[in-house]
Chain A
Amino acid sequence: MKIRIKFRKFGVMRFIGHLDLMRYFQKAMRRAGIDIAYSEGFSPHQIMSFASPLGVGMASDGEYLDIEVHSSQSSRQSLAALNQAMVEGIEVIEYKRLPEGAKNAMSQVAAASYTVYFKQKEQNPFSLSVLSEALQGFYQDQAEILVTKQTKKSEKLMDLKPLIYQLQVVCVNDDAQNPGFYMKLSSGSAENIKPHLVLEAFFAYLSRSDAFPKKLYVVDPMDLQIHRQEVYAQGADGEFLPLGEVGEDIL
Chain B
Amino acid sequence: MALQENHLALSDRILMRVEKPARYLGNEVNMVKKDPSQVELRAAMCFPDVYEIGMSHLGMQILYDLFNRRPDVYCERVFSPWPDLHAILKEQQLPLFTLETQSPVRAMDFLIITIQYEMCYTNILQVLDLSQIPLHASERSGWETPIVIGGGPCTYNPEPLADFFDLFYIGEGETQYDALFDLYRDCRRNGWSRADFLRAAAKLPGLYVPALYDVTYHQDGTIQSFSPKEEGIPAKIKKELVRELDQTSYPTHPLVPFIKVTQDRVVLEIQRGCIRGCRFCQAGMIYRPTRERSVSTLKEWAREMLESSGHEEISLSSLSSSDYSGLAELVSFLLKECRGKGINISLPSLRIDAFSLDVMRKVQDVKKSSLTFAPEAGSQRLRDVINKGLTEEAILKGAADAFAGGWQKVKLYFMLGLPTETEEDRREIPRLAEKIARCYYEIPKEQRNGKCQITISTSFFVPKPFTPFQWAQMYAPGEYLARAKDVNDEVKQQLNKKSLKYNWHEADVTVLEGVFARGDRRVARALERAYEKGCIFDAWSEFFDNETWMEAFAETGVSIDFYNTRSRALDELLPWDFIDCGVTKEFLRREWEQAKAGVVTPNCRAQCSGCGARQFEGGVCVENPN
Contacts and interface: CB of A to CB of B under 8 A. Distances in A.
A88 B27 contact: yes
A15 B15 contact: yes
A26 B342 CA distance: 11
Contact of B22 (A15, A28, A227): A15
B406 interface: no
Interface in A14-59: 14-17, 20-21, 23-24, 26-31, 38, 42-46, 56-57, 59
Nearest to B14: A222
B484 interface: no
A172 B27 contact: no
Interface stretch (B193-201, B306-314, B396-404, B470-478): B306-314
Given A13-B27, A23-B260, A89-B27, A42 B4 contact: no
A176 to B, nearest CB: 14
A3 to B, nearest CB: 17
Contact of B259 (A20, A31, A119): A20
Nearest to B27: A12
Nearest to A44: B342
Contacts of A29: 310
A64 interface: no
B257 to A, nearest CB: 9
Chain A contact residues: helix, strand, loop or mixed: mixed
Nearest to A28: B310
B344 interface: yes
A172 B1 contact: yes
Contact of B29 (A31, A43, A57): A31
A28 B29 CA distance: 9
A124 B445 CA distance: 75
B256 A27 contact: yes
A139 interface: no
A10 interface: yes
A85 interface: yes
A151 interface: no
Contact of A26 (B1, B4, B8, B312): B312
Q: Which of B21, B28, B31, B344 has the most CB of A within 10 A?
A: B21
A225 B3 contact: yes
Q: Which of A15, A42, A225, A227 has the most CB of B within 10 A?
A: A15
B302 to A, nearest CB: 14
B308 A31 contact: yes
Q: Which of A11, A21, A26, A173 has the most CB of B within 10 A?
A: A11
A178 to B, nearest CB: 10
Chain B contact residues: helix, strand, loop or mixed: loop
Interface residues of B, number: 34
Contacts of B259: 20
Contacts of B258: 16, 20-21, 23-24
B569 interface: no
A1 interface: no
A87 interface: yes
Interface in B344-363: 344
B16 A56 contact: yes
B1 A10 contact: no
Contacts of B306: 30
A199 B618 CA distance: 69
A38 B1 CA distance: 37
A88 B310 CA distance: 17
B25 interface: yes
A10 B4 CA distance: 7
A42 B31 CA distance: 32
A27 B1 contact: no
Nearest to B264: A23
B265 to A, nearest CB: 11
Given A27-B311, A87-B27, A227 B1 contact: yes
B547 interface: no
A45 B342 contact: yes
Contacts of A172: 1, 3
A227 B365 CA distance: 44
Interface in B4-33: 4-5, 7-8, 12-13, 15-16, 21-22, 25-29, 31
Contacts of A105: none
B8 to A, nearest CB: 7
Interface string B64-100: 0000000000000000000000000000000000000
B271 to A, nearest CB: 27
A208 to B, nearest CB: 28
Contacts of B482: none
A232 interface: no
Contacts of B31: 87
Given A87-B29, A173-B3, A27 B22 contact: no
A7 B17 CA distance: 27
Contact of B309 (A10, A27, A57): A27
A20 B258 CA distance: 6
Contacts of A27: 29, 256, 309-312
7 contacts: A20-B258, A26-B310, A28-B310, A42-B365, A59-B4, A119-B4, A172-B3
10 smallest beta-carbon distances between A and B, as pairs: A27-B310, A30-B310, A31-B310, A15-B21, A42-B365, A20-B258, A44-B342, A38-B342, A12-B27, A222-B13
Interface of B: 1-5, 7-8, 12-13, 15-16, 21-22, 25-29, 31, 256, 258-260, 306-312, 341-342, 344, 365
Given A10-B4, A43-B344, A43-B365, 4 more contacts: A20-B258, A20-B260, A45-B342, A87-B27
